[in-house]
Amino acid sequence: MYNANEPNETELPSSASLLKSTLIAFVVAAIILVTIVLPAEYAIDPTGIGSALGLTRMGEIKSQLAEEAEADAGSEINVGSVGQRVPAPPAGPPTDATPAGTAQADPAPAGEENGWRDTTEITIAPEEAIELKLVMAKGEKAAYEWDAGRGSLNFNEHGDGNGQSIEYGKGRATPSRQGELIAAFDGYHGWFWRNRSEVPVSLTLRTRGSYSEIKRTR
Amino acid sequence: MRRVRFRCPGLSTKLSRFGVLASLFMVSPVFAHGVAQGDKGYIQEVSGVHLVPFAYLGAKHMATGYDHVLFLLGVIFFLYRLKDVSVYVSLFAFGHSSTMLLGVYFGWNVSAYLVDAIIGLSVVYKGLDNLGAFRRWFGRQPNTKLAVLIFGFFHGLGLATKILEYELDPNGLVPNLLSFNVGVEIGQLVALSAILIAMGYWRRSASFQRHAYGANVLLMSAGFILVGYQLTGFFVN
């Protein structure tokens, strides 16, 4: 009936060796759990081995992303109709849920410079993230360039507002970038930057074009 | 920096275009901040070579991937000698490693749902094979080693589609990918050890021969559920 023979008694492990195997499996599992799984999933690293292997950082990033997602949930941005140039204030400023932390400066528009309308400089500490957004009506265009000084940043270029959202692009460890932002709908369109390097990064953003204002939303 | 083009079923991100096109206007249905969570979130936050973390992710993927574990269970169900186990498991490992590496490196754009449906079928096949159905129905036994190798190729394609969805950084892709592959084999050995110990206990009891038939029917049933689940996903999405 089967595609196999019945096992001979000699082909089967003895009861004692099975018990021994189970014990070994349990001990190995406990060691792997404490030195590898807990650091990589929750950044819980009592032995320090997870850190040495580079796994604790994975756990830290996962925990941080989970906390931020929880904080972000419910901070819906409602900008009203931007086209009428009367942008309503965001319903519940998103910065309440995610304070700017140790990022060291507020947006400091330095006025016109080489044809740019706004220049914004912010220092971003390691592991910190900030967001700068242009308030734009659908179809408006803004040119931009940003650079991370001598460092590099992860970025996500996106827009949101009135329940809509769009991703224009993203990248990792990017030193600089330039381009044009075309608003897909009325709302806040701009950038999320995260410093995953070990040193503070000086971000400079220059913008021009049709937008009503530049805001720091995180 | 090497540029590798990714074609992902879920997200229409083409990494190769970053920094080339001035204005990216890719519409994709991600939520506001587009930040993924968990393993994918980690992978999207880091760049460069991270050997141990990627080995961990490979091992985790294999050891917690119930479709691969079910197939492995079917394969070793009637293998009593460790030598036979290692031959079949090596064939499976060779099969899935090759298509996983090639699939990710060349960005093979295959449907994750269809590949996973075939993986479900591989579980059904192995259940039927264990029951001796092919000999009964067709009068001859299809080559079991060849079957494991061929289904291994499909399991590798399934792994490749998952890795493509992770959107690995082109910077450090090959070392990270090889490391992931090493992790997959470690994860397979971990899962295999657990299965062999459990089967060791079961095979010693008289109930093994009585329930082996039913167990393989259950295995088939699990395979059919996977097929239905994935095919539905293919048509719904």
Residues within 8 A of A (CB atoms), B 187-206 only: 190, 193-194, 197, 200-201, 203-204
Q: Number of C-alpha atoms within 13 angstroms, CB side, residue A99? A: 3
pLDDT score at B132: 87
> What is the per-residue pLDDT for A194?
93
Q: CB distance from A42 to chain B under 8 Å?
A: no
Per-residue model confidence as pLDDT tens digits over A146-185? 999 989 999 999 998 888 888 898 888 999 999 999 999 9
> Quick check: B160 and B6 in contact, CB under 8 A?
no
Identify the CA nearest to B159 among candidates B201, B102, B197, B213.
B102
Q: What pLDDT is stored for residue B33 in this prediction?
A: 57
- What's the one-letter identity of residue B184? V
Number of compact structural domains in chain B = 1
Of A5, A66, A182, the CB nearest to B23: A182
Touching B: A residues 137-176, CB under 8 Å: 154, 156-158, 160, 165-174
Q: How far apart are CA B190 and CA B168, in angstroms?
A: 25
Please tell me the pTM assigned to this model: 0.75
- Each residue's pLDDT, cut to its tens digit, for chain B (237 residues) gives 333 433 333 333 333 333 323 223 333 333 335 668 899 989 988 888 999 999 999 999 999 999 999 999 999 999 988 899 999 999 999 999 999 999 999 999 899 999 999 999 999 999 999 988 888 888 888 999 999 999 999 999 999 999 998 888 888 999 999 999 999 999 999 999 999 999 999 998 888 888 998 899 999 999 999 999 999 999 988
Residues in chain A: 218
Higher model confidence: residue A90 or residue A182?
A182
Measured CA to CA, the distance from residue A47 to residue A51 in angstroms comes to 9
CB contact under 8 A, A156 and B33: yes
Q: In what order do the strands lie in the sheet with A176-182?
A: A118-124, A201-209, A141-147, A176-182
Residue A154 phi, psi (nearest 5): -80, 140
Domain boundaries defined on chain A: 10-72, 90-216
- pLDDT given at position B206: 85
Tens digits of residue pLDDT in A1-15: 566 666 777 777 788
pLDDT band of residue A69 (cuts 50, 70, 90) is confident
Paired tokens of B58: 């490979």
Predicted-assembly ipTM surpassing the 0.95 threshold: no
- Please give the average per-residue pLDDT across A29-48, as a whole number: 94
Name the amino acid, one letter, at A194.
Answer: R
Residues of chain A contacting B42 with CB distance shorter than 8 Å: 58, 61-62, 65
Mean pLDDT of A117-133: 91
From chain B, pick out residues whose CB is under 8 angstroms from the CB of A57: 53
Return the C-alpha torsion angle B76, B82, B83, B85, nearest 10. Answer: 20
Supply the pLDDT for residue A46.
Answer: 95
**Residues in CB range of B97: below 8 A, 6 or more apart:** B156, B181, B184, B185
Answer whether A55 touches B (CB < 8 Å).
Answer: yes
CB-CB neighbors (< 8 A) of B38 in chain A: 62, 65-66
Q: Which one is predicted more confidently, A49 or A103? A: A49
Mean pLDDT over the full length of chain A? 81
Dihedral (Cα; B26, B46, B8, A155), 10-degree rounding? 0
Q: Pick A103 or A145 by higher pLDDT.
A: A145
pLDDT surpasses 90 at A80: no
| Per-residue pLDDT, A161 | 84
Q: Is the distance from CB of B54 to CB of B182 less than 8 angstroms?
A: no
Alpha-carbon span A74 to A127, nearest angstrom: 23
B4 located within any domain: no
**Domain assignment of residue B39, given as a range:** 15-236
- Using a CB-CB cut-off of 8 Å, the residues of chain B touching A66 are 37-38
Q: What is the mean pLDDT of residues A93-102?
A: 41
Residue B135's H or E segment, with its range, is helix B133-138
CATH number of A90-216: 2.60.120.380
Chain A interface, best mutation among B1, B13, B25, B78, by max A CB count within 10 A: B25
Per-residue confidence at A74, pLDDT binned at 50, 70, 90?
A: low
Interchain pair B213, A54: CB under 8 A: no
Number of residues that make up chain B: 237
pLDDT confidence bin for A92, thresholds 50/70/90: very low
Contact B23 A158 (CB under 8 A): no
% chain A with pLDDT above 70: 78
Burial class (CB in 10 A: 0-12, 13-18, 19+), A4: middle
Question: What residues of A are in contact with residue B144 (Cβ under 8 Å)?
Answer: 3
Nearest to A3 among B22, B132, B193 (CB): B132
